A and B are shown apart, each in its own frame.
Chain A
Amino acid sequence: MNTATLKSGAVRQVNGKKTLSYALLAAVIAYFAYIFFAFDIAGLGQRASLENARTLVADSYSYKTHITKSNRGAGTLTAAIEGEKKGRYPDGSYPEWVDGNGTDAFVTLRDGTVVELTGKVVYYDVPDYGPIKITTRNSGIDLELPTADVPPFISASRNRVAITVPGGRINVTKSKTEIFRYFTGWEMFFFTLDSPFYGKSPAQLAYLASTAPRIDPNSSNLALMWDGFWNNAMWRHADVAWAIFETILMAFLGTIGAALIALPLAFLSAQNFTKNMVARFSMRRAFDFLRGVDGLIWTIILSRAFGPGPLTGALAILLTDTGTFGKMFSETLENVDEKQIEGIRSTGAKPLQRYRFGVLPQITPVFISQVLYYLESNTRSATVIGAIVGGGIGLLLTQAIITGKDWEEVTYYIVLIVLMVMMMDSLSGWLRSKLIGNKGS
């Protein structure tokens, strides 16, 4: 063979590979083009709600306080964080940026401008625009503007006027006038308004916790503080902690239970331990069936029998993973070194002893490593399954998302879920190195 043929052969081979890689690239692009039309990605722009996206992002790091004045009856003025009952200021008391007397008030917005609420009249001087006067009557709402045209930051109709300015929002309907002012942060994360510790600085809290006289003579300030935080009605820290525990419990019960069930069954489906073809074959099909039916369907079937809750989730994980572990364990068993079993056999050991001293020491590191890996992955599955069966942090998350307004809670849960999964990841890594050293990795 001379150099020329070698060279032409090499060139042909390289060209062939090049064509193949271009063909692959073209196939990928063609597939994405198909997906583009099949999923109607072009129409996504119309379906997407930018309004929702904006609320979501704004809510995740900020909150608003509602100043509400009834336009009917006595015209009482109230203040409530996020407009929620749990966040309501006691009657007649307001945050320091509201100067009110029970019915009328001066409300300072975030940019320092002031909205005047007097009787049924709202007066607001917009910087760079001019004064706006809104009067509510039984017949409708009168809007007086300095210009003839309605500017884009105001949306007005006979029954409703909404003004959005950098400092906040004003919403007037015939029944009530609302002013929203936004604040950065998660409101009342530590203490609710009814707690004596609300609004205190860390230094004040430290003083209260250590040397200050007791607020409640029956318990120390620190205990009171913990009680206020743990039983916070708005953020429900105790419930959230329990939900996280429940999710981890589901993953733990499902994974470890599946491993314990799959271990003996794997012997039945491994070629070198079970000579009986029928037993082996049926065991394997059983594993395939358990895996193939999938967690989703197991979840549905089990929740009919056991009702919603963490046990159902744990059993669903257990069933699916019995299939997975059974398959993996039997593959590991088929690869064990026969020599060690032979050695044990030569000492006159019975079958059970052969398994115990000849097989188990060989496979334990591999099993532990596989089980620990699944423990971490199942923590994620348990979150998802929890959303379906109604248990754990998955349920709290779906509930918070479905209400569509507590995005700060959604953000909180997401952060907790990520931390939980990462914690389980490092825990399983730590356990792996403790139990089996670096052999299994």
Chain B
Amino acid sequence: MPQSALDTRASYLAQTHRKRLYSGVMLVLLVAMLCGGFMTADDRNAGGFWNGLPHVLDFPAEVLGEAAQKITLLPAHLVTFFPSLLETINIAAAATLAGAIMAIFLALLSTRGLARWPRLIPLFRRLSDIMRAIPEIVIALVLIFILGGGPVPAMIAIAFHTVGALGKLFSEVTENADLKPVEGLASVGAGWMQRMWLGIIPQVSPNFISYALLRFEINIRASAILGFVGAGGIGYDLRNAISWGQGKYDEAAAIFILLFLAIVAVDQLSGLLRNKLVGDTK
């Protein structure tokens, strides 16, 4: 082998070696951070990890045991709590719908080439960042204080976050939209709304709907959690059933089943729809 080729080979091997070393060091560092973090978290926890581990299944066993004893009551419980489940789903659906509609405007207003007021693009982008950064629970708790418990605070809170989250995803889609239809419409004197409605929306709606469906899956979970902190729906019933303790675990089991089935059903349905809309690109 000529000398230069040998040099190249040696330097390539050295480079690979160094790269692998770096990767190894980073992996070790990551594992060390994980272990350290785990130990810190374990220290701060009320019950230790190793003490608790054998008892992980105690609670599910208790719930299932009681539910099995009162298995005859289960269908009735499923019927009783179905309206709450419907409320949870409605909170998520209304919030997703309202959030998505607002997110469309936010996305269009923050896309270069499409914005109604190009100078305000940074403002709308910041707005979307901030709305995305606020966890639902913050707004929900504040609104519960003002509006009282019930589905409305949860709906507003989830919608607020959805606007930010979808706004960002939507604007990524609109940035790649073809501008020719917009120019064509502009040349015949169409206004901004008409340009967007007729030139952009038909191009991007499959992606928009697909993202909105994905959000809906996330929002159902969020809606259940917000119920748990006092915002109505099945989460609220779940908290009541659980804090009652033994004696109502059959109800808790019914709620677990309903929630699980709803989440899985929505995931499957939306996955199916999304595949139809945008093909198998995920």
Q: Taking beta carbons and an 8 Å cutoff, which residues of A are in contact with B?
A: 28, 31-32, 35, 38-41, 44, 47-49, 52-53, 56, 246, 249-250, 252-253, 256-257, 260, 288, 291-297, 300-302, 304-312, 314, 331, 380-381, 383-384, 387-388, 391, 394, 397-398, 401, 404, 410, 414, 417-418, 421-422, 425
CB of B58 within 8 Å of the partner chain: yes
Structural contact, A309 and B256, CB atoms closer than 8 A = no
What residues of chain B lie closer than 8 Å to A404, measured between beta carbons? 145
Structural contact, B136 and A252, CB atoms closer than 8 A = no
What residues of chain A lie closer than 8 Å to B55, measured between beta carbons? 304-305
Structural contact, B263 and A294, CB atoms closer than 8 A = yes
Within the complex, what minimum Cβ distance (angstroms) separates A50 from chain B? Answer: 8
Within the complex, what minimum Cβ distance (angstroms) separates B222 from chain A? Answer: 8
What residues of chain B lie closer than 8 Å to A41, measured between beta carbons? 152
User: Which residue among A40, A256, A302, A304 has the maximum number of chain B CB atoms within 10 Å of its CB?
Assistant: A304
Structural contact, A311 and B225, CB atoms closer than 8 A = no
Q: Interface with A: B1-9, B44-52, B113-121, which one?
A: B44-52
What residues of chain B lie closer than 8 Å to A297, measured between beta carbons? 256, 259-260
Structural contact, B56 and A387, CB atoms closer than 8 A = no
Known: A47-B147, A308-B45. A414 touches B134 (CB 8 A): yes
What residues of chain A lie closer than 8 Å to B152, measured between beta carbons? 39, 41, 44
Closest to B53 in A: A305
A422 interface neighbour in B45, B129, B224, Cβ under 8 Å: B129
Closest to B45 in A: A309
Q: Interface with A: B32-40, B69-77, B104-112, B181-189, which one?
A: B32-40
Q: How many residues of B contact A (CB 8 A)?
A: 63
A394 interface neighbour in B52, B58, B137, B146, Cβ under 8 Å: B137
Which residues between 79 and 101 of chain B lie within 8 Å of chain A, taking CB atoms? 87, 90, 93-94, 97-98, 101
Structural contact, B142 and A418, CB atoms closer than 8 A = no
* CB contacts between A and B, total, < 8 Å: 178
What residues of chain B lie closer than 8 Å to A249, measured between beta carbons? 37, 40-41
Known: A48-B146, A249-B41, A311-B45. A293 touches B34 (CB 8 A): no
Within the complex, what minimum Cβ distance (angstroms) separates A29 from chain B? Answer: 11
Q: List 19 A-B contacts (CB under 8 A).
A: A31-B97, A249-B37, A253-B38, A253-B41, A256-B30, A296-B259, A297-B256, A300-B238, A301-B60, A307-B45, A311-B41, A387-B137, A387-B229, A398-B229, A417-B135, A418-B134, A421-B135, A422-B129, A422-B130
Known: A301-B56, A301-B59. A292 touches B260 (CB 8 A): yes
Q: A52-B145, A305-B58 are known; give 8 further A-B pairs, CB within 8 A.
A: A40-B150, A246-B41, A383-B137, A383-B138, A384-B222, A397-B138, A401-B141, A422-B129
